[in-house]
Amino acid sequence: MTQTLSSTSETLDLTPMVIGYTVAMPCPETHLFEVTLTINHWAADVLDLKFPVWTPGSYLVREYVRHLQGFSATDETGHLLDWAKVSKNHWQVQTLDRASLTICYRIFANELTVRTNHLDLTHGYFNPAAMFFRVLGHENSAIALTIVPPHPAWNVSTPLKAVSGYPNTFIANTFDELVDSPFEIGTHTLHDFDVLGKPHQFAIWGRGNLNVERILTDTQKIIEVEAKLFGGLPYDSYLFLLHLTANAYGGLEHKAACSLIYSRFGLRNEEGYAKIYEPGCS
């Protein structure tokens, strides 16, 4: 079952799509995401790919490309294409007259923060800026993204809209929208609430002493006050991704979501509870 926030899903014929990503994690204990980029209807001799070095909301150079390994490029027949790494985060693939391209690589993910990626036997979490190449010249093209969980029980939570008829497939209208949309994949708990007629959801991974009903009620009150201050809510739906772990603290805001990380037992007293609403350090 795929979990999405929106009550409606995008209906899309994927045939004319130029760019599509697939993210698999067949052996989560290795901390390796397996990423496949497919590009159809290509009409240039060289494909330029650049990997982001920072993520929206956390404006420091992070050098995400250091986690990338196993890069390869093939055409529709499986023939290997020549490629070169021309700078620390820039690849060029010689495509010649090939119209369909497939790029494969792996991302090592063993750093659980709000700005990085984490994969283990309990869940998968990633920030698209730390996962996907930017196809130069096609930043405004729509991108389809399919998640292949390692287990049928694992769900997918993201602010991106689901594609009707395609399991665990989502659509980003631009590369900017993609990198601003984090993903949580696993058996996390889901808690829904509405504010001013718009759906909101908490996706919570990890266990602790969190009073879920209290945090839902208090968050709803805060959103209502902010909506009055700013004249409404600038989104159709909103997703809170909360990771409860040991001795961690941080938050990273996105347009229609945020990633939060907090100590699983940091909510034992009123001081600890109040701190979860303070601005986080990304």
DSSP secondary structure code for residue 10 in this structure = B
Buried b (16+ CB within 10 A) or exposed e, 77-100: eeeebebeeeeebbbbbebeebee
Longest distance between any two alpha carbons in the chain, whole Å = 64
Mean pLDDT of the chain: 91
Q: Quick one: pLDDT at residue 3?
A: 37
DSSP string over 52-75? -SSBTTB-S---GGGGEEEEEEEE
Q: Quick one: pLDDT at residue 274?
A: 81
Q: Quick one: pLDDT at residue 148?
A: 98
Tens of pLDDT along 45-78?
999 999 999 988 888 899 999 999 999 999 999 9
Q: Quick one: pLDDT at residue 272?
A: 79
Q: Quick one: pLDDT at residue 107?
A: 98
- DSSP three-state, residue 40: coil
What global pTM score does this model have?
0.91
Residue found by looking up tokens 């405004």 in the block: 140
CA–CA distances in Å: residue 274 to residues 60, 225, 227: 27, 17, 20
- How far apart CA 17 and CA 240 sit, in angstroms, is 29
Question: Taking the mean position of all CA atoms in its chain, how far away is CA 153?
Answer: 19
Q: Quick one: pLDDT at residue 264?
A: 86
Residue found by looking up tokens 């809510």 in the block: 233
Closest CA to 172 of 137, 202, 136, 129: 129
Q: Mean pLDDT by 10-residue block, N- to C-terminus, for the chain (282 residues)?
A: 39 60 98 97 94 88 95 96 97 94 98 96 97 96 97 97 96 97 98 97 92 94 96 97 90 95 85 75 50
Instruction: List residues bridging with 72 in a β-sheet.
Output: 104
Q: Quick one: pLDDT at residue 14?
A: 47
Closest CA to 52 of 66, 71, 73, 42: 66
Domains and CATH numbers, the chain: 19-186 (2.60.40.3650), 189-275 (3.30.2010)
Q: Phi-psi region for residue 197, left (φ > 0), alpha (ψ -120 to 50) or beta? A: left
> How many CB atoms are located within 10 Å of the residue 22 CB?
18
- DSSP three-state, residue 158: coil
Structure tokens at 103: 């790029």
- How far apart CA 220 and CA 225 sit, in angstroms, is 9
Tens of pLDDT along 243-282?
999 888 899 999 999 999 998 888 777 887 887 877 655 5
